[in-house]
Amino acid sequence: MKKISTGRLSDLLLTALAPISWGTTYVVATEFLPPNHPLLVAAMRSLPIGLLLIAVSRKLPQGIWWLRMLILGGLNIGVFQALLFVAAYRLPGGVAATAGAIQPLLVGLFAWVILSQRPSRVSVAAAIAGFIGVGLLVLSPAARLDSVGITAALAGAGAMGLGTVLVKRWKPPVPLMVFTAWQLTVGGLILLPVALVTEGPFEQITSTNIWAFIYLGLIGTGLAYALWFRGIAKLNPTAVSYLGLLSPVVATLIGYLFLQETFTGIQLAGIAIVLGSVLVGQQSD
């Protein structure tokens, strides 16, 4: 296993903060946000912070970047978030997380086709191990399967995976926060009308809801996606995709620490496998 340089280690740790923060989303959404509005919640965590950052930067896409932003914002924010919540509603969380863990394999495939970066056997083995590890971590024997939910989870992983590789392929011509703002705004604008038609507006908003939205918007979305896109620009997209496996690990640990959820030996084995696959996956560069 090759040694990781200090600079690359810093890039990996900063990028890892994104899926770590995403791992807190479940407890924030279930405990502190209005219920039964997953798509509207997704829109409201993306659109306000995106518009705010655009207002500060005063920069809009030019030329071909309008089309590219529609594609990237749609894949990384709009389509991904919508499919994620479809899967969450139709599947137990464990099944949805396990299906989503296929993303490193999909990113490796997309990187091979689009970037001509053929994945190594070790990389593929690490991706498969990560998929199995997440399954051990979050699946229960009573987990039910739903074809629509499974399809949505896999398609969501594919959308985010393709968006990750396209970010690397197209290399944004603007500062990181501007690039992040464009995608958050486009994704939020895609989600908002769908959410209002299918779910309707929130019945009421409390001060707790507002603080939760502020956290999700600033930390769990704006900062997290900025760090994620920064990592894609500096690292191999396949290596970055393995870091996404940290999200279900964090979600499980938070459930154990704060929601009195049980923790088993099988889950500990799953965490060990996931962390091992993340470490091995960083040899993709």
For the stretch 194-234, pLDDT in tens is: 999 999 999 889 999 999 999 989 998 899 999 999 998 88
Which residue type occupies 178?
A: V
pLDDT over 70 (residue 169): yes
Confidence grade of residue 88 (pLDDT, cut at 50, 70, 90): low
**C-alpha span between 23 and 135 (Å, rounded):** 16
Say what the pLDDT of residue 259 is.
66
Percentage of residues in the chain having pLDDT higher than 90: 36
Read off the DSSP letter of residue 199: T
Of 212, 251, 244, whose CA–CA distance to 228 is shortest? Answer: 244
Angle at 226 between CA 113 and CA 185, to 5 degrees: 90
Say what the pLDDT of residue 75 is.
94
pLDDT over 70 (residue 261): no
- Using a 10 angstrom Cβ sphere, with 0-12 exposed, 13-18 middle and 19 or more buried, the burial of residue 28 is buried
pLDDT over 70 (residue 113): yes
SS3 29: helix
**C-alpha span between 165 and 115 (Å, rounded):** 8
Distances (CA, A) of 180 to 118, 174, 240, 285: 28, 10, 17, 24
Least confident of 61-75, 78-92, 163-177: 78-92
Confidence grade of residue 42 (pLDDT, cut at 50, 70, 90): confident
CA 139, 144, 149, 150 torsion: positive or negative? positive
CA 129, chain centre distance (Å) = 19
Report which listed range, 23-32, 205-214, 259-268, is most confident.
205-214
Say what the pLDDT of residue 72 is.
95
